[in-house]
Amino acid sequence: MAVFFAILMALLLFVVIFQIAKASEYVAVLKGEKSSRAQANKVNAFLMISFLVLGLFGVYFCNEELKDKLLPRAASIQGVAIDHMMNITLVITGIVFLATQITLFTFAFRYRSSEKRKAKYFPENNKLELAWTIIPALAMTVLVGIGLKHWFELTSEAPANAMVVEVTGHQFNWFFRYPGKDGELGKKNYQLIDPGKNNPLGQDWSDPANQDDFVSSVLYLVVNRPVKLIINSQDVVHDVGLPYFRLKMDAVPGIPTTLWFTPTITTAQMARITGDDNFTYKLICDQLCGKGHYSMVANIVVETQAEFDQFVSQQKPQYQFAMASLKPPPADTSSKAAPADTSAKPAAAGSGASGLR
Amino acid sequence: MSHDATLNPQGEAIQLTPAHAHDAHAGNGHEHHHDSFITRYIFSQDHKIIARQFLITGMVWAIIGAFFSVIFRLQLGFPDKTFPWMETIFGHWAKGGRLDPEFYYALTTMHGTVLIFFVLTAGLSGTFSNFLIPLQLGARDMASPFLNMLSYWFFFLASVIMFSSLFLQTGPFQGGWTAYPPLSALRAASQGSDRGMDLWLASMATFVISQLLAGLNYISTILNMRTKGMSMTRMPLTIWAFFFTAILGVLSFPVLFSSFILLIFDRTLGTSFYLSDIFIGGHALPNQGGSPILYQHLFWFLGHPEVYIVMLPGMGIASELLATHARKPIFGYLAMVGSLFAIFVLSFTVWAHHMFVTGMNPFLGAFFVLLTLLIAVPSAVKVFNWITTIWKGNINFVPPMLFAMGFVSLFISGGLTGIWLGNSALDLHLHDTYFVIAHFHLVMGVSAFFGMFAGIYHWFPKMFGRYLNQTLGYIHFWITFTGAYLIFWPMHYEGLAGMPRRYYEFNADSLGIYHQFQGLNEVISVVAIVVFLTQLMFVFNFFYSIFRGRKVTDQNPWKSNTLEWTTPIKVGHGNWPGEIPEVYRWPYDYSKNGVDYTPQTVPLSPEEQEELAHVAHPETIHERQL
Ligand code: HEM
Ligand SMILES: [Cu+2]
Ligand SMILES: [Cu+2]
């Protein structure tokens, strides 16, 4: 009913507008082309300059309204650098934005048609054109310089003391595998994947390095300690999006990628900064991966080394779950470490591809 | 002049096939007795009819594509509400009046595919290249009217296939207009990757054929069929823009085609071009050694030039209209051609800026950063030249002029954020967020639409012999212009907050940080609906005016210099009833020596000839070089 009413109103409004438009066409014909043109020019020139003024005010208003909804300060060394670079870019492009839009709309207003003036025949001026080729070129050089400096830092080799975590995406969940005490991730092969046998990642149990690797559905990181993520996908392209750290990297099946950064603010500290007691860092999927894409979100915990050590000591290697599932089922499978139990999500539930029951 | 002599003499000879000659003498194509309705309006080989066919098909797709955006905007703006009428329209895709996530993705995918390819590529180039190339260059038709007709009918076929995919039980394709594999390659990965993707690929492959036929025709017409005196440097900038657009298409669409072929192989023949190490639907697939990234390279090798295929016609139209309606020559004609050329060349060298986060070699990435930001330079030159063109002009704010100025404003706003995204370090944060949505809609989506609207308002009198209603035109412009900024400007903020695109909803619990934009999303959606309704008003104006609009009584209503306005008000088959006029000057002699406008067909005055000997003028530079 409401819909019907809305359509009716819209139609009515349209009929009114149309009648006015039609009438003004007749009036224009009666008044003569010239005077109706002059009138239209006056109105639109005025609207142009108003658009500029209101638009600039709108930009300011939008900024005031939304600035509190932006992200809190970057929680990684790399993120701080990116924010810094973003500010420089904002200033440069902001100046150009204001200069060009203001000139465009003021010219529009200033040079509206008039009987009294004649347009100036001004087809070219090499000096001007040279100037506005060279100045943007210089500005771009500066931006490229800054950008590449950061780019090469961001994509450099991870420091030797970086902790390593393997991230694996699949429709529509994330797994995080830690290398355990030996500091080495065991071999894996996608053909060995068997969620039913507690081997969701396809770890090769014949590799001893696998025996202490443990798997989590939450990404635990240590504050001020560089972390190197080794990123995989089991099915389609996903993306490890880390908005709080200002980074992201695709997860591509068959081609592992890496990303390293140094988190600088613990979850607890960030809760204080944002005033939100329940604050949690998020890892979100940033590459369309199917119907559950929008729900492919994981939590990240940034904590102190002591807290992290405590967490590690409580983890059971995936190896033990897998071996247990070969034997008659043991009672204890409810540990936090078993992704099979903690990763239940609305999207995964309906997905045959998930394979995790 | 020797240049003209070699290129142009055939100009007339080639096209005057007997039928056309007869037509030309009859003076009016509408009196054509041996033409049936079918050959005249349906399987027509007349470039003007084909242009209208592209335009109207494009408009139908634009309405569909925009309608889809309204539906998914309702989901984004009002995720908790139900809309029972949606179930009436979409059936099981909107049970209980709530959009199904898969259908949401199907809608966004179709929205993107249809608007980019069918509307802003076929609809835009197809309309204006077809309509203007012969008319502005002084040719009786395209180089091959028959291939021209075929190009439309291939497009039509592509349209039919795409449209029928909307009615599949499993839905149309849902993997985004970029169709990245493995999502698009594996039937198990998504419902839409099954039959929907089959039809999507069939439709797109047909579409590529249509574009190649069209492009080759545009290029050969521009090179071979200019009238006497129409040297390349006397061509209107519209034609230069269509020329580069066509070459871009001809060079890049085949690459897209090849990427589709490999994808079809992977889907049907069990090859592994794009597939490796995949475990899906409870099975490990045998495919190994392929690379999903290969597809992305092939796709974006077209995909980036494609955004310029969408942009350049708008640039050409804006250049032409800013000069005409400001009664001033375009500023820096040669620089405008040069910057088009620079953009054209560079656009082939920047594709991987869409792939900074795929794990590409950082050293390689550095080149793409450099080349991408380099493209900002010719773009900046164009903007400054446009602004200088209206400086000290005498601006007539008719609807086409307003849309041309809106084009410039939107192009600036969207172009500047390209400098952010092209800088790979910033892209690490901004990629695949609403910042990107805001960027490409402003710079490409809306501004290309503005170029198209400008062109429609300007050439409607030539196409249909009647005017569009001006008042409705003004309302259309101001609501659309304001609406475009209201919709897309705030999205920059969402993107800066990292809000991901292609999200069906932002769960209040797991994504509270983005859920707080709910109020904003609601506003955006409401504005989008208003803007959509305004476009329907334009469509009404369009069809109403074809039949009932004010009649054109003046052969040259905009007092323009270009050749199309030397044809009769109702242009017949063959375009000029008598001889094709000869051209003596460039098209931008507005307000020269105190004369409001001097059409290209006016011979140089004795003073001008004298001047020509001394002053470096765009045409004279050209003539001296030869
Ligand atoms: C009424 C005007 C429009 C509105 C409100 C609108 C809105 C949107 C939104 C919100 C998205 C993001 C959907 C998502 O990622 O979840 C989107 C995607 C897109 N839009 Fe529009 N849009 C409009 C017009 C256009 C136009 C004119 C174009 C032509 C270039 C266009 C091209 C695209 C493309 C290519 C995508 C990406 C589709 C994909 O993800 O595969 N849109 N649009
Ligand atoms: Cu995803
Ligand atoms: Cu690009």
Query: Strand pairing partners for A282?
Result: A299
**pLDDT at res. B175:** 94
Contacts of A44 in chain B (CB under 8 A): 397, 402, 474
Q: Are both A96 and A220 inside the same structural domain?
A: no
Task: Tell whether A286 is covered by a domain.
Answer: yes
- The structure tokens listed for B415 are 């172009």
pLDDT of residue B28 exceeding 60, the answer is: no
Closest residue, chain A, to B423 (C-alpha): A147
Write the DSSP symbol of residue B491. Answer: H
* Domain locations in chain B as residue ranges: 1-35, 36-563
- Cβ distance of A93 and B420 shorter than 8 Å: yes
Rounded Cα gap, residues A71 and A6, in angstroms: 38
Write the DSSP symbol of residue B96. Answer: G
Q: How far is CA A307 from the centre of its chain?
A: 29
Tell me the three-class secondary structure of B231-253, residue by residue. CHHHCCHHHHHHHHHHHHHHHHH
Q: Which atom of ligand 1 is nearest to the CA of B504?
A: 16
Whether the ω angle into residue A172 lies within 30 degrees of 0, i.e. cis, is yes
Rounded Cα gap, residues B585 and B230, in angstroms: 8
pLDDT of residue B490 exceeding 70, the answer is: yes
Q: Are both A176 and A288 inside the same structural domain?
A: yes
For ligand 1, say whether the CB of B115 is within 6 Å of any of its atoms.
yes
pLDDT of residue B221 exceeding 70, the answer is: yes
- The structure tokens listed for A115 are 């009987």
**pLDDT at res. B605:** 87
Kindly report, residue by residue over A234-257, the tens digit of the pLDDT: 999 999 999 999 999 999 999 999
B384 touches chain A (CB under 8 A): yes
- Cβ distance of B426 and A86 shorter than 8 Å: yes
H-helix or E-strand containing A174? Answer: strand A173-178
Q: Are both A61 and A171 inside the same structural domain?
A: no
- The mean per-residue pLDDT over the stretch B115-122 comes to 96
- The mean per-residue pLDDT over the stretch B474-481 comes to 96
Q: How far is CA A76 from the centre of its chain?
A: 16
Q: How many domains does chain A have?
A: 2
In the block, which residue shows the tokens 């475009």?
Answer: B484
The CA B135 to ligand 2 mean position distance, Å, reads: 49
Task: Tell whether A188 is covered by a domain.
Answer: yes
**pLDDT at res. B512:** 87
Last residue of a domain, one of A98, A120, A154: A154
Closest residue, chain A, to B83 (C-alpha): A3
Contact assessment for residue A293 and residue B502, using Cβ atoms and an 8 Å cutoff = yes
Rounded Cα gap, residues A248 and A251, in angstroms: 10
Query: Strand pairing partners for A263?
Result: A76
- The mean per-residue pLDDT over the stretch B562-580 comes to 91
Angle in degrees, CA B478, B481, B485, rounded to 5: 135
pLDDT of residue B404 exceeding 60, the answer is: yes
For ligand 1, say whether the CB of B62 is within 6 Å of any of its atoms.
no
- In the stretch 226-265 of chain A, residues with CB closer than 8 A to chain B read 231, 234-237, 239, 241, 243-244, 246-250, 252-255, 257-258
- pLDDT band of A282, cuts 50, 70, 90: very high
Residue whose Cα lies nearest atom 16 of ligand 1: it is: B502
Rounded Cα gap, residues A215 and A175, in angstroms: 7
- Cβ distance of B550 and A25 shorter than 8 Å: yes
**pLDDT at res. B354:** 95
A87 φψ region: left (φ > 0), alpha (ψ -120 to 50), beta (else): alpha
| Amino acid in the structure at residue B49 | I
Partner residue opposite B498 with nearest CB, options A47, A123, A243: A243
pLDDT of residue B615 exceeding 70, the answer is: no
pLDDT of residue A340 exceeding 50, the answer is: no
pLDDT of residue B540 exceeding 90, the answer is: yes
Rounded Cα gap, residues A244 and A73, in angstroms: 8
For ligand 1, say whether the CB of B528 is within 6 Å of any of its atoms.
yes
**pLDDT at res. B426:** 95
Domain range spanning residue A92? 31-112+128-154
- Cβ distance of B328 and A119 shorter than 8 Å: yes
Residue whose Cα lies nearest atom 13 of ligand 1: it is: B502
Give the closest-approach CA distance of A306 to chain B in angstroms.
Answer: 27
Residue whose Cα lies nearest atom 26 of ligand 1: it is: B445
Q: Are both A169 and A243 inside the same structural domain?
A: yes
The CA A276 to ligand 3 mean position distance, Å, reads: 39
Neighbours of B366 (CB within 10 A): 17
Among the residue ranges B64-68, B508-512, B523-527, B533-537, the one predicted with the least confidence is B508-512
A117 touches chain B (CB under 8 A): yes
Write the DSSP symbol of residue A181. Answer: T
A286 touches chain B (CB under 8 A): yes
Give the closest-approach CA distance of B56 to chain A in angstroms.
Answer: 22
Rounded Cα gap, residues B188 and B180, in angstroms: 15
Give me Rg for the CA atoms of chain B.
25
| Amino acid in the structure at residue B622 | H
**pLDDT at res. A339:** 45
**pLDDT at res. B616:** 52
- pLDDT band of A333, cuts 50, 70, 90: very low
**pLDDT at res. B10:** 37
Rounded Cα gap, residues B552 and B57, in angstroms: 25
**pLDDT at res. A329:** 52
The CA B112 to ligand 1 mean position distance, Å, reads: 6
- Cβ distance of B101 and A292 shorter than 8 Å: yes
Estimate the crossing angle of helix B124-137 against helix B195-224, to 10 degrees: 10
The DSSP result for A109-120, as a single string, is HHTB--SS----
Q: Which atom of ligand 1 is nearest to the CA of B176?
A: 41
- Cβ distance of A111 and B395 shorter than 8 Å: yes
For ligand 1, say whether the CB of B498 is within 6 Å of any of its atoms.
no
The CA B253 to ligand 3 mean position distance, Å, reads: 15
Write the DSSP symbol of residue B383. Answer: H
Residue whose Cα lies nearest atom 20 of ligand 1: it is: B112
Rounded Cα gap, residues B117 and B66, in angstroms: 14
A357 touches chain B (CB under 8 A): no
pLDDT of residue A232 exceeding 60, the answer is: yes
Among the residue ranges A265-274, B91-100, B194-203, B438-447, the one predicted with the least confidence is B91-100
Task: Tell whether A25 is covered by a domain.
Answer: no
B359: closest CA among A185, A244, A262, A254?
A254
- Cβ distance of B275 and A202 shorter than 8 Å: no
Rounded Cα gap, residues B122 and A304, in angstroms: 58
Rounded Cα gap, residues A113 and B327, in angstroms: 9
Among the residue ranges A301-305, B40-44, B347-351, the one predicted with the least confidence is B40-44
Q: Are both A77 and A201 inside the same structural domain?
A: no
Q: Show contacts of A193-198: CB within 8 Å, 24+ apart.
A: A193/A234, A193/B279, A193/B284, A195/A340, A195/A354, A195/A355, A195/A356, A195/A357, A196/A325, A196/A355, A196/A357, A197/A322, A197/A325, A197/A326, A198/A318, A198/A321, A198/A322, A198/A324, A198/A325, A198/A338, A198/A340
B190 touches chain A (CB under 8 A): yes
pLDDT of residue B18 exceeding 50, the answer is: no
pLDDT of residue B329 exceeding 50, the answer is: yes
Task: Tell whether A309 is covered by a domain.
Answer: yes
| pTM of the model as a whole | 0.89
- The mean per-residue pLDDT over the stretch B302-307 comes to 92
Q: Which atom of ligand 1 is nearest to the CA of B535?
A: 1
Task: Tell whether A292 is covered by a domain.
Answer: yes
Contacts of B594 in chain A (CB under 8 A): 118
- pLDDT band of A328, cuts 50, 70, 90: low
Task: Tell whether A22 is covered by a domain.
Answer: no
- pLDDT band of B91, cuts 50, 70, 90: confident
CATH class of the domain comprising B36-563: mainly alpha
pLDDT: which is higher, A344 or B386: B386
Counting ligands in written order, which one lies closest to the CA of residue B180? Answer: 1
Counting ligands in written order, which one lies closest to the CA of residue B375? Answer: 3
- In the stretch 50-109 of chain B, residues with CB closer than 8 A to chain A read 85, 101-102, 105
- The mean per-residue pLDDT over the stretch A104-132 comes to 91
- The mean per-residue pLDDT over the stretch B363-382 comes to 94
Task: Tell whether A177 is covered by a domain.
Answer: yes
Burial of A32 (0-12, 13-18, 19+ CB in 10 A): exposed
**pLDDT at res. B39:** 73
- In the stretch 601-620 of chain B, residues with CB closer than 8 A to chain A read 617-618
Q: Are both A251 and A192 inside the same structural domain?
A: yes
Rounded Cα gap, residues B522 and A206, in angstroms: 55
Q: Are both A167 and A144 inside the same structural domain?
A: no
- The mean per-residue pLDDT over the stretch B368-388 comes to 95
Contact assessment for residue B436 and residue B357, using Cβ atoms and an 8 Å cutoff = no
- Cβ distance of B331 and A123 shorter than 8 Å: yes
For ligand 1, say whether the CB of B116 is within 6 Å of any of its atoms.
yes
Please tell me the number of Cα atoms within 13 Å of B560 on its side-chain side.
25
Kindly report, residue by residue over B261-290, the tens digit of the pLDDT: 999 999 999 999 999 999 998 899 999 999
- Cβ distance of B429 and A243 shorter than 8 Å: yes
Closest residue, chain A, to B331 (C-alpha): A123
Q: Are both A172 and A150 inside the same structural domain?
A: no
**pLDDT at res. B21:** 39
**pLDDT at res. B2:** 35
Closest residue, chain B, to A72 (C-alpha): B497
Count of A-B CB contacts under 8 Å:
370
Q: Which atom of ligand 1 is nearest to the CA of B531?
A: 1
- pLDDT band of B565, cuts 50, 70, 90: very high
A20 touches chain B (CB under 8 A): yes
Rounded Cα gap, residues B266 and B271, in angstroms: 5
Q: Which atom of ligand 1 is nearest to the CA of B501?
A: 15
For chain B, give the percent of residues with pLDDT over 70.
92
For ligand 1, say whether the CB of B524 is within 6 Å of any of its atoms.
no
A41 touches chain B (CB under 8 A): yes
Neighbours of B256 (CB within 10 A): 24
For ligand 1, say whether the CB of B449 is within 6 Å of any of its atoms.
yes
Contact assessment for residue A348 and residue A355, using Cβ atoms and an 8 Å cutoff = no
pLDDT of residue B42 exceeding 90, the answer is: no
- The structure tokens listed for B544 are 């109403």
- The mean per-residue pLDDT over the stretch B153-161 comes to 96
The CA B68 to ligand 1 mean position distance, Å, reads: 9
Kindly report, residue by residue over A202-219, the tens digit of the pLDDT: 999 999 999 999 999 999
- The mean per-residue pLDDT over the stretch A300-329 comes to 88
- Cβ distance of B493 and A154 shorter than 8 Å: no
Q: Are both A100 and A202 inside the same structural domain?
A: no
Q: Are both A70 and A144 inside the same structural domain?
A: yes
| Amino acid in the structure at residue A80 | V
- pLDDT band of B29, cuts 50, 70, 90: very low
The CA B446 to ligand 1 mean position distance, Å, reads: 10
**pLDDT at res. A72:** 92
The CA B417 to ligand 3 mean position distance, Å, reads: 12
Contact assessment for residue B172 and residue B200, using Cβ atoms and an 8 Å cutoff = yes
Contacts of B354 in chain A (CB under 8 A): none
Task: Tell whether A357 is covered by a domain.
Answer: no
3-state secondary structure of B366: helix
| Amino acid in the structure at residue B172 | P
Give the closest-approach CA distance of A263 to chain B in angstroms.
Answer: 15
- The structure tokens listed for B318 are 């804006």
Q: Are both A106 and A245 inside the same structural domain?
A: no
CATH code, domain carrying A229: 2.60.40.420
Among the residue ranges A78-82, A130-134, B91-95, the one predicted with the least confidence is B91-95
Q: Are both A41 and A107 inside the same structural domain?
A: yes
What rounded mean pLDDT belongs to chain B? 89
- Cβ distance of B105 and A112 shorter than 8 Å: no
The DSSP result for A199-235, as a single string, is BTT-B-TTSGGGGG-EEESSEEEETTS-EEEEEEESS
For chain B, give the percent of residues with pLDDT over 90.
81
B380: closest CA among B345, B406, B418, B350?
B418
**pLDDT at res. B27:** 40
